[in-house]
Amino acid sequence: MLRTICLFILVFLSFLSGYGQIVGPRKAVDPYRYEPVKAASFERASVASAHALASQVGAEMMRRGGNAFDAAIATQLALAVVYPVAGNIGGGGFLLGRKADGQLIALDFRETAPRAARRDMYLDQDGKAQTELSQNGHLAAGVPGTIAGLFASMSYAKLPFRDLIQPAIDLAALGFVLSENEARSLNWTLGNFKKYGTKPNAFTARKEWKAGDTLVQKELARTLELVRDKGAKGFYRGKTARLLVAEMKRGGGLIDLQDLKAYEAKSRTAMEFSYRGHQIIGFPPPSSGGVILGQVLKMLEPYPLGQYGFQSPEAVQLMVEAERRAYADRATHLGDPDFWKVPVSELLADAYLKNRMGDFVPGKASESKLIKAGEFRESEQTTHLSIVDAEGNMVAVTTTLNGAYGSKTVVGGAGFLLNNEMDDFSIKPGVANMYGAVGGDANAIAPNKRMLSSMCPALVLKDNKPFMVVGTPGGTTIPTSVLQAVVNVIDFGMNAEQAINSPKFHHQWLPDLVDIEKDFPEETRKKLAAMGYTFRLRDGIGRTEIVLIDRDGKRMVAADKRGEDSVAGY
């Protein structure tokens, strides 16, 4: 009887406080009852992201009068709470946007190397690379850029920041229910959270998580409140900065108060190029995403890809050979443009790319050891969200901690995970990073430098009107996943769901292998093997989020089947 009365009082109080449905005034998001929605067609506005609650938060902001930039800010903040594997405030990323009036926006909030970082900081006395240090724990962390990026995005938003961050605060303070996959993923990482952190935290609060448990993150909620009340200074200065630096001191990391104070998001010039009558907009260095996407599409353009047929041996071989050449260029030529002269226009020049494919032989595999980067006379967890609003603003944001849960270091007392982005530098020429990518001087470590990324948020226009917003996580597979979504729509006439859910493949020069998903067509694999290609079976490649706008203006949105990604809209 007493139990029943207590329960009744609890339910009544919950009802009065709106507990359980957090985005007021419409109370549209229920963190205790939600299901991913994989695809939909909306009349006005749509969001696709890695988590149902984050997509719902973004859609609700647009219903309440916000635009795609408001939605992107609120969705990213919600992801930092409900998708700790990659959503973050302790990492960085890139926002690519196009306002309805045609203005292009490219915001770079990539992490930077701390000012005490040194080129050889991950080499031991014998010059051997210590990837354990660049991939895990305090020394792996770059100076976080996400909060600076969110405030830089505010110039294009309409709603007050406090409204955009409140759902994330509520999700952290009240908690949200874990799915089976989320519980399993936390359990896998529990040992590492303890090994690479110095204080107990929300993830280590239980010995074992199970589906249906509520993850409450009180410390993260307090950090987000500081950001709500003090702006970017609530993160880069004051209590949060002190907690982060104290965590660094306890664990032997490098980030100091001056690094945090000095961090700035940068505005870059979006890359634009054409492909079969469409205008493609990509992100420039320090991401390699836009350059690789542009190079590969331009190498494909002279060939009748659509006629070859989807994942026919001819189509896959051509794409693999173009990818091989683009990734060889990445390894030599790409890095932070503020530290290294990146020859973007040369890399994308028609004559250069024609020459690059000069030794392509249909029906025969090239060998990566014989393909070097081109020369000029002159000289793996991330997450993505795609949004289109009712006005026609387009936003694509890819953001990352790098590996799953980044460095696995939670800032003691502040409740957020730090990235392990330092591993995206070339820690030693020729030594592969966690995605197997190699690099050299262009991407060597230097104080305050941004590490090269593969993130590839992309926008596509047709007849100068919004047509596609796309992007994905996946480390070095990011540009090739985006590429496949683009050609699947443009060359193979697929709809949004087919374009992202069809089997994928990937080649990145080194290692000289074609990665394939398990449902890649066996007949094509056999024919390519006979041409000399070697294959490696991979678990799902990327988790792509796409919005396609049809002729009637409908927003066809799809979230990747490979995860619990979800769409929302109205």
With 0-12 / 13-18 / 19 or more C-beta atoms within 10 angstroms meaning exposed / middle / buried, residue 416 is buried
Minimum CB separation from ligand GLY for residue 349, in Å?
A: 25
Minimum CB separation from ligand GLY for residue 482, in Å?
A: 12
Reduced to 3 states (helix: H, G, I; strand: E, B; else coil), residue 289 is helix
Can residue 426 be called a binding residue for ligand GLY (CB under 6 A)? no
By beta-carbon proximity to ligand GLY, the closer residue of 167 and 457 is 457
Q: Are 61 and 376 in contact, with CB atoms under 8 Å apart?
A: no
* One-letter amino acid of 330: R
Please list every residue from 428 through 447 that binds ligand GLY, using CB under 6 A: none
Q: Are 415 and 81 in contact, with CB atoms under 8 Å apart?
A: no
**What x-and-dash track marks residues 282-301 binding ligand GLY by CB under 6 A?**
--------------------
Crossing angle of helices 478-490 and 313-333, in 10° steps, is 140
By beta-carbon proximity to ligand GLY, the closer residue of 434 and 531 is 434
For 502, the token pair is 């069809």
| Distance, CA of 142 to CA of 389 (rounded, Å) | 33
Can residue 454 be called a binding residue for ligand GLY (CB under 6 A)? yes
Q: Are 405 and 189 in contact, with CB atoms under 8 Å apart?
A: yes
Alpha carbons within 13 A on the beta-carbon side of 109: 29
| Distance, CA of 479 to CA of 498 (rounded, Å) | 18
- Binding segment for ligand GLY (CB under 6 A), chosen from 79-87, 123-131, 345-353, 450-458, is 450-458
Can residue 455 be called a binding residue for ligand GLY (CB under 6 A)? yes
Among 201, 402, 409, 443, interactor with ligand GLY by CB under 6 A: 402
For 44, the token pair is 């006005």
Can residue 60 be called a binding residue for ligand GLY (CB under 6 A)? no
By beta-carbon proximity to ligand GLY, the closer residue of 424 and 515 is 424
Helix and strand numbers (H, E) in the chain are 19, 19
Minimum CB separation from ligand GLY for residue 326, in Å?
A: 15
Minimum CB separation from ligand GLY for residue 167, in Å?
A: 26
Q: Are 457 and 383 in contact, with CB atoms under 8 Å apart?
A: no
Q: Are 134 and 424 in contact, with CB atoms under 8 Å apart?
A: no
By beta-carbon proximity to ligand GLY, the closer residue of 163 and 424 is 424
By beta-carbon proximity to ligand GLY, the closer residue of 314 and 424 is 424
β-bridge mates for residue 280, sequence order: 273, 460
Would you name the residues annotated as active-site residues? Answer: 382
Can residue 240 be called a binding residue for ligand GLY (CB under 6 A)? no
Minimum CB separation from ligand GLY for residue 433, in Å?
A: 9
Minimum CB separation from ligand GLY for residue 285, in Å?
A: 12
Reduced to 3 states (helix: H, G, I; strand: E, B; else coil), residue 439 is coil
- Binding segment for ligand GLY (CB under 6 A), chosen from 290-298, 406-414, 448-456, 535-543, is 448-456
Can residue 420 be called a binding residue for ligand GLY (CB under 6 A)? no
By beta-carbon proximity to ligand GLY, the closer residue of 56 and 477 is 477
Q: Distance of alpha carbon 547 from its chain centroid, rounded?
A: 16
Phi and psi based region of residue 309 (left: phi greater than 0; alpha: psi -120 to 50; beta: remaining): left
Q: Are 62 and 391 in contact, with CB atoms under 8 Å apart?
A: no
- Binding segment for ligand GLY (CB under 6 A), chosen from 22-30, 330-338, 441-449, 451-459, is 451-459
- Binding segment for ligand GLY (CB under 6 A), chosen from 266-274, 316-324, 453-461, 505-513, is 453-461
Can residue 217 be called a binding residue for ligand GLY (CB under 6 A)? no
**DSSP for residue 417:** B
Can residue 424 be called a binding residue for ligand GLY (CB under 6 A)? yes
Those residues whose C-beta lies under 8 Å from the C-beta of residue 263, and which sit 6 or more positions away, are 112, 143, 144, 145, 148, 236
Give, for 272, the enclosing helix (H) or strand (E): strand 271-275
Report the sign of the C-alpha dihedral through residues 480, 460, 386, 401, in that order. positive
For ligand GLY, the nearest residue by Cβ is 453
Give the β-pairing of 266-268 and 104-109: antiparallel
Crossing angle of helices 68-82 and 161-174, in 10° steps, is 20
**What x-and-dash track marks residues 356-395 binding ligand GLY by CB under 6 A?**
--------------------------x-------------
By beta-carbon proximity to ligand GLY, the closer residue of 92 and 167 is 92
| Distance, CA of 370 to CA of 379 (rounded, Å) | 22
Minimum CB separation from ligand GLY for residue 420, in Å?
A: 9
Can residue 136 be called a binding residue for ligand GLY (CB under 6 A)? no
By beta-carbon proximity to ligand GLY, the closer residue of 329 and 424 is 424
By beta-carbon proximity to ligand GLY, the closer residue of 336 and 421 is 421
By beta-carbon proximity to ligand GLY, the closer residue of 316 and 445 is 445
Among 400, 409, 480, 544, interactor with ligand GLY by CB under 6 A: 400
For 357, the token pair is 């494919």
With 0-12 / 13-18 / 19 or more C-beta atoms within 10 angstroms meaning exposed / middle / buried, residue 513 is middle
Minimum CB separation from ligand GLY for residue 455, in Å?
A: 5
**DSSP for residue 270:** P
Can residue 149 be called a binding residue for ligand GLY (CB under 6 A)? no
The site that binds ligand GLY (CB under 6 A) totals a number of residues, namely: 9
Please list every residue from 460 through 489 that binds ligand GLY, using CB under 6 A: 475
Residues that bind ligand GLY (CB under 6 A): 382, 400, 402, 421, 424, 453-455, 475
